[in-house]
Structure 1
Amino acid sequence: MSESHLILDRLHRLVAEDRRPQAPLSARRGASSLFSFVTHSRERIAGAAFSRLSIVVIVEGSKELLSMGRQQRFAAGTMLVLPPGWSGDVVNDPDPATGAYRAIFIDFPDALVRRAEAAFPPPRGPFRLDLALDAASIDAIHHAGDGLMDACLPAPLVEHRVLEILMVLGMRGALPARAETTAEAVSALVRWQPDRAWTADRIAAELGTSNATLRRRLGLEGTSLRAVIAAERIARAETMLTEDGLSLREVALATGYRSPRRFAERRRAVHGSADGVV
């Protein structure tokens, strides 16, 4: 057995059977929980959404995420770090050799995340969802998983074990930065669903404020709702053009524009030139 399989084998006890949440993950509150997803046939979960920072550890099989206008596939041995507000479609594929897909899901209360952020301030800038599992993260997940599954352990001890995972993420620079301005909060919403028909009323409702307050706050920050949405959509589009090799038409539709011409106009307005070079 290879070293990578030996490492993953330590986590198999946590995914021995399917233990999915009964309520939507977008409504999660309270202490951390561990859920396991096990399937022996390809499954698609549409409209998945997480209200809290969460991790998904792929133990067996592979996972496909359709989010940010992109379609990305991740193999066993990958840990996905999903920021609060993440949303998208998920496809779980069993391993062809074993016939099973197995993954661990753990979410984190905001107060616990803040403790980790105090020790390891999250870096600003682009955020990467996927991390390769290493010895430190495997140890932390195994330790916390055992604690979350043991109903006899005191809650403070379980919390301490869960915090260990966040500390490992912090050490690896993998804690997602929080939105510090209204513009950043709007960008975070648009980022996961750039093709959605975002309106001021819809964004205000998502952020728990009013249309007028949203616009006033953005104005005080020296920007507008239209400018923030366009900048985020174009940023997603540039990634799809350079990293995914999609056509202009595919990128335009994936980022919410009705046609390549409309996309080109907005891209030119954001970058100042037709070809997107600043």
Structure 2
Amino acid sequence: MPTTAVDQNGLRASLLNRLAGLRAPSGVHGSVSHGAETGVRVFGYCIQERERIARNRMEHPAVVVVLSGTKEVWRGDVAQTFAAGVPFVIPAGMDFDLVNIPDPASGRYESICITVDDVLRQMLRRSLRTVPVNSATADRLDIDLTPALVEAYGHAASALTGLGVAVAATLARNRLLEILLLLAETPVAGMLTTVGRKEQVEAIICADPSHSWQVGDVAAELGVGASTLRRQLDRAGTSFREVLLCVRMRTAGMLLGSSGYSVMQAAQAAGYASRSHFSRRVQYAHGKTPRHLKAEI
């Protein structure tokens, strides 16, 4: 059952209270990373002056909560304004103008952002029975709060501020996943699970890692030009060569871990005709020679 406007106001106040521990210390300006040990990108952002960021494009979708002040998200001539305590999604791959407006009373604009990158998105997709349809063109980016979602944010905030505990990094990742699983039942779900360009390239190469892939081959599979694909991967912080090598070394590690493959067979299946070249690559990627990897079986 949807919550009423009064319920939403109360839930927003509760959410802001739960996230208080993630606020930036007084005097801090700009971005503050939270829980880098988790392998998931969560950061706070704090400024003292109104700012406009023109033609912003996110490589990965993000879930944002304004902690103080307001944020305007412009798509062309249409804007949505998000007050403190209202969670919303910024989809990947779309151009937005963003305006951050400090709160008149405190003089601060502050927000907390969960970047739904490849790692977190893959965790989410593995946890869902069905993957939501991409709804990046949805009219609304805001998310209606529920008591369960507020509770999940509180769990995540507690985990991110308690990373001295040995298991806290894993706990924090799972707490962030808890938030996304709850969002998977909302209209914004498809924006969070959309596969990025890097994942699409990996999937194509994984289907036949022994093929002598060139960037033009994969670009043609994706229906884009080679130069466009290179730019897209560069924005994702990688390159075609790095993705190709990563897939091949992941394949090599799995095959060498199977008693049914010899070193040469694993090399050929991973796309290497030269055993010595394969051995050098495996040792660099895994820290061990192919024979040592097989010896661990």
Q: Which of 32, 40, 60 is equivalent to 1:52?
A: 60
Deviation sequence 1:32-63 (CA, Å, 0-9, x none): 13221223321223443332232110122110
SS state at 1:156 partner: helix
Change (3 A) 1:165 1:22: closer
SS state at 1:132 partner: coil
1:73 pairs with 2:81: yes
Q: Which of 163, 180, 202 is equivalent to 1:151?
A: 163
Aligned residues: 190
Q: What amino acid sits opposite 1:40 in the alignment? A: Q
For structure 2, list consecutive stretches of 5 or more residues without a partner in the other structure. 1-8, 198-223, 235-297
User: C-alpha separation between the residues in 1 aligned to 2:41 and 2:70?
Assistant: 22
Change (3 A) 1:115 1:68: farther
Contact residue 49 and residue 86 of structure 1 kept, 8 A: yes
Shift of 1:73: 1.9
Match of 1:168 in 2: 182
Shift of 1:104: 0.6
User: C-alpha separation between the residues in 1 aligned to 2:16 and 2:103?
Assistant: 14
Q: What amino acid sits opposite 2:101 in the alignment? A: D
Shift of 1:163: 0.9
User: C-alpha separation between the residues in 1 aligned to 2:102 and 2:87?
Assistant: 17
1:135 pairs with 2:143: no
Q: Which of 186, 194, 197 is equivalent to 1:178?
A: 194
User: C-alpha separation between the residues in 1 aligned to 2:152 and 2:32?
Assistant: 26
Shift of 1:87: 4.1
Match of 1:122 in 2: 132
Q: What amino acid sits opposite 2:171 in the alignment? A: L
1:39 pairs with 2:47: yes
Give the 5 Å matches for 1:183-198: none
Q: State the TM-score, normalized to the length of structure 1.
A: 0.55
Match of 2:117 in 1: 109
Change (3 A) 1:9 1:179: closer
Q: State the TM-score, normalized to the length of structure 2.
A: 0.52
Shift of 1:92: 0.9
Change (3 A) 1:95 1:203: same
Q: What amino acid sits opposite 1:169 in the alignment? A: L
**What is the CA RMSD across the aligned residues, in angstroms?**
3.7
SS state at 2:184 partner: helix
Match of 1:99 in 2: 107
Q: What amino acid sits opposite 2:194 in the alignment? A: R
